Amino acid sequence: MIEAVRKGLGFVRFSHTLFAMPFALAAMVVAARGVPEGRVFVLIVLAMVFARTAAMTFNRLADWSIDQRNPRTEGRHRLMSRRGACVLLAVSTLAFLGVTAAINSLCLWLSPLALGIVFFYSLTKRFTSWSHFFLGLALSVSPVGAWLAVSGRFAFAPLVLALAVLLWVAGFDVIYATQDHEFDRRSGLHSMVVRLGVPRSLTLAQVLHWAMWVVLAGFGYFAGLGAVYYGGLAPIAGALVYEHRSAARLDLEGVNRAFFASNVFVGAVFLAAVCLDVWLRS
């Protein structure tokens, strides 16, 4: 049983849930001006986990034959059968819908749209080099969803944060795609790396990440945050510099290390800065 769970977590790269989770939790804290009631907090976390599990499982199924031809990803499907993946997709999708129903009616009504966005990303590299931005869009719904779970209504601040997440994810996905440049080109798949080449794509990723940093500053303004939050943007900038210097070496191990460590650090520092600022000012 433990081995099956381990393989299932590896199949959907569960550790990468750490990328979007801090932004959802930060939106939750700002919307509640502190920590919301325990029930809402647990439901937000569960919604994030189930939505991402469903999205990644759909991605694995959609790319099943492609991944088996790619030397970097050929081992993924030894972790789970296609039938098992279909079961996991059904269970996680139904669980996500059930959780949104338990949150509030607005989240329930919007849940099919959220699932449509996160599923659609998996198909985009077949026809557009803007696939990285669709991945960014898929993850950007998380802070908006968390805000709606707490407040039950739309606001401008979470939309600004969603834009920051979109730019951030698109940037690091461009970096990640440099690993598959030759495979994607030979296979007729689309990405900015195939379209622009590696050097220009890395420059694009830098532009996206510094634009994200500026938008994060804008989020602080619209969310009514103060000096503690803005102070947290300095180490985030440092992490971005580290990530891009590592990516510039075009070393596979370096790209993976920068991809995971830097992005987890960015999310953790952002969440900590938001929480400290809100709690100190409340």
* CATH code for position 270: 1.10.357.140
pLDDT at 4: 53
CB atoms within 10 A of CB 3: 7
Q: Which two tokens stand for residue 133?
A: 């931005």
Q: How far is residue 124 CA from its own chain's centroid? A: 16
pLDDT at 64: 85
pLDDT at 99: 98
pLDDT at 122: 92
| Domain residue limits at 82 | 2-281
Q: Which two tokens stand for residue 218?
A: 């804008």
CB-based contact 149:40 (threshold 8 Å)? yes
Query: Tell me: the pLDDT tens digits for 104-126?
Result: 999 999 999 999 999 999 999 99
Q: How far apart are CA 203 and CA 199, in angstroms?
A: 6
Q: How far apart are CA 186 and CA 205, in angstroms?
A: 23
Helices (H), the chain: 2-11, 17-32, 38-62, 64-69, 82-103, 105-124, 131-151, 156-177, 181-187, 192-196, 198-222, 227-248, 252-257, 263-281
Q: Which two tokens stand for residue 65?
A: 């034959």
Residue ranges in the chain whose pLDDT is less than 50: none
CB-based contact 202:175 (threshold 8 Å)? yes
- What is the maximal distance between C-alpha atoms in the chain? 56
The tally of domains found in the chain comes to 1
**Residues 130, 78, 190: CA angle, nearest 5 degrees:** 15
